Homo-oligomer: A and B are copies of this chain.
Amino acid sequence: MLLYTAAFAPNPRRVRIFLAEKGVSVPMKDIDLARLEHRKDDFRKLNPMQTIPALVLDDGETLTESVAICRFFERLHPEPPLFGVGAKEEAFVDMWQRRVEFGLLATVGMAFRHSHPKMALMEHRQLPEFAELQRGRALSFLRFLDAKLRSRPFVYGDAFTIADITALVALDLALYARVEIPPELTHLARWREAVSSRPSAKA
């Protein structure tokens, strides 16, 4: 196996944190996004969607999409479980992972893509007004999440899951997307400190 990853980008970081939590090590190769290596022929042959991460399997097929890659590793290495255990818990972890993905990672990510000077290269056209709309959505979600974290340690409940990983990478991107995290969200701050201090956060 070979995992294509990229520095600073949130999606490959999700997979790296996931693997670190599992204690699984996979050979990795960095793609230089600033040099648009993901748009060059060599990489497009592997992943026509030109997205990172991409996992080349031993049979030569390429699996893409962060969550699909994480779920694949969950099946290969079930312990510790990061997608829940049993039909109901798995469903609720999936729900929270998706809520965080659409409500936070996507909104922060779009604010970043449509406003950060470095992303002008990647987007056909940046729309600062759209970035601002997304900041408002991200803030609403952060308030909702803070209220949930008042009564539980992690996004889904008592256990650290993939939903926490998605939330952490989204929060770490917030600064670059100019999404200001309100200081009164103290439960969110406590959670962030806890997940950021896990060794996996450095992956």
Q: Footprint of B on A, CB under 8 Å?
A: 48-49, 57, 61, 63-65, 67-69, 71-72, 75-76, 87-88, 90-92, 94-95, 98-99, 103, 124-125, 127, 129-130, 133, 136, 144
Contact = CB atoms under 8 A, between A and B. Distances in A.
Contact of A67 (B94, B124, B127, B130): B94
A74 to B, nearest CB: 9
Given A124-B133, A125-B133, A144-B48, A88 B72 contact: yes
Contacts of A67: 94, 98
A68 B125 CA distance: 33
A69 B91 contact: yes
Contacts of A130: 127, 130
Contacts of A71: 90-91, 94
Contacts of A48: 144
A27 B53 CA distance: 40
Contact of A68 (B65, B75, B94): B94
Contacts of A124: 133, 136
Contacts of A75: 87, 90-91
Contact of A63 (B69, B92, B127, B129): B92
Contacts of A103: 49
B133 A95 contact: no
13 contacts: A48-B144, A49-B103, A61-B92, A64-B95, A65-B94, A65-B95, A65-B99, A69-B91, A71-B90, A71-B91, A72-B91, A75-B87, A75-B91
A29 B111 CA distance: 36
Contacts of A65: 94-95, 98-99
A130 B134 CA distance: 12
A68 B87 contact: no
A57 B91 CA distance: 12
Contact of A95 (B63, B95, B129): B63
